[in-house]
Amino acid sequence: MFKIYIRTSLYFLVIISILTGISSCKTTKKIVRPELKPETFSTLYHKMEDHKVTFKKLSSKLAVNYIKQGKSDLAFKVNLRMQKDSILWASIVPGMGIEAARIEITPDSLKMINRLKKYYFKGKFSLLDSLLHTNINYSVLQSILLGNGLNQNLTFNSEKVILDGNYYKLVLVSKNVDNNKTIIYQKIWLNPDNFRIHKMDVLQQTPGQKPHRIEVFYDSHQIIDGMAFPQKVKLVIYSNPKTEIFITFKNINLNQSFGFPFYIPSKYKMKRL
């Protein structure tokens, strides 16, 4: 029995040695993406538009980490529902698992119920700008969440393409149709594998007003119904103080039947902001 055990042990040692020798002879292959071919701005822009995500309704669970430099660091979960170009509904749930707040955003309005402090407020969409220290509209907010390009109500003044490492960098200068004095500078890093946005840097300047700058990083995507939806997003708002928002999208469902309930209890007080 002891001799059999020795022979068996030696047999395995020989196999392990052979396998180790084979593996050590192999060279590690480095995956190198082919060098980018020059493309025109028009070609790349249309490919980006062709690959943007679209739907009628969307629901998802989000993990959010909100960091305001030197002031606060909040982590919470969000049940998100959207009807494209119409309404964004969110139920905010902290670690306890109980809904703390409910938000409804439309192109014209912003409403919120604070269940912890039993109050609510209603206002115009511009109220969101005051809270986040930005200057965006509903279409821009929706595009940022979905990783689509910002082309709503814009007229392009100039554009160019730069080959930046593994990405096409689209540089755009445009004006807002609603406010011809507002100039918007966009830099978009486009992934050549799926023509989805990898990074976006937006600077908005209006005479007599403080510039507004936002950076968005789309670290990864997930395929839902053949479309590449953002999975991990980092949003940087350059205000005073700087704000960073990290979002992870989970369990995205498209075009299912659901509503946007927003009932305000009669005992809740209205708060003016």
Per-residue model confidence as pLDDT tens digits over 134-171: 777 888 899 999 999 887 666 777 889 999 999 999 99
Alpha-carbon torsion (9, 11, 17, 23), positive or negative? negative
The label of the residue with tokens 């049940």 reads 79
Give percent above pLDDT 90 in the chain: 61
Residue 132 near residue 243, CB atoms below 8 Å: yes
Q: What is d(CA 244, CA 94) in angstroms, rounded to the nearest whole number?
A: 18
Q: What angle do CA 99, 104, 110 make, to 5 degrees?
A: 125
What is the predicted pLDDT for the residue at 78? 96
Strand-pairing partners, residue 123, are 110
Quickly list DSSP for 147-172. T----TTEEEEEEEEEEETTEEEEEE
Residue 163 near residue 36, CB atoms below 8 Å: yes
Task: Using pLDDT thresholds of 50, 70 and 90, give the confidence band for residue 213.
Answer: very high
Q: What is d(CA 84, CA 145) in angstroms, rounded to the nearest whole number?
A: 12
Distance of CA 205 to the CA centre of its chain: 23
Sort 247 into a burial class: Cβ within 10 Å, 0-12 / 13-18 / 19+. Answer: buried
CA dist list (Å): 53 to 39, 196, 227, 229: 22, 9, 6, 7
What is the predicted pLDDT for the residue at 22? 30
Residue 255 has pLDDT above 50, yes or no: yes
The DSSP symbol for 210 reads -
* DSSP 3-state of 254: strand
Q: What is d(CA 142, CA 148) in angstroms, rounded to the nearest whole number?
A: 8
Quickly list DSSP for 181-205. T-EEEEEEEE-TTT--EEEEEEEEE
* List of domains in the chain: 41-250 (2.50.20.10)
Rounded to the nearest integer, the mean pLDDT of the chain is: 84
Residue 192 near residue 166, CB atoms below 8 Å: yes
CA dist list (Å): 236 to 45, 67, 201: 24, 10, 9
**Residue 152 or 21, more confident:** 152
Nearest to 103 by CA among 94, 85, 91: 91
What is the predicted pLDDT for the residue at 165? 92
* DSSP 3-state of 65: strand
Give percent above pLDDT 70 in the chain: 84
What is the predicted pLDDT for the residue at 49? 93
| Average pLDDT of the residues in 82-105 | 93
Q: Which region among 9-23, 51-65, 69-83, 205-219 has the lowest average model confidence (pLDDT)?
A: 9-23
Alpha-carbon torsion (240, 172, 54, 198), positive or negative? negative
Task: Using pLDDT thresholds of 50, 70 and 90, give the confidence band for residue 176.
Answer: confident
Residue 192 has pLDDT above 60, yes or no: yes
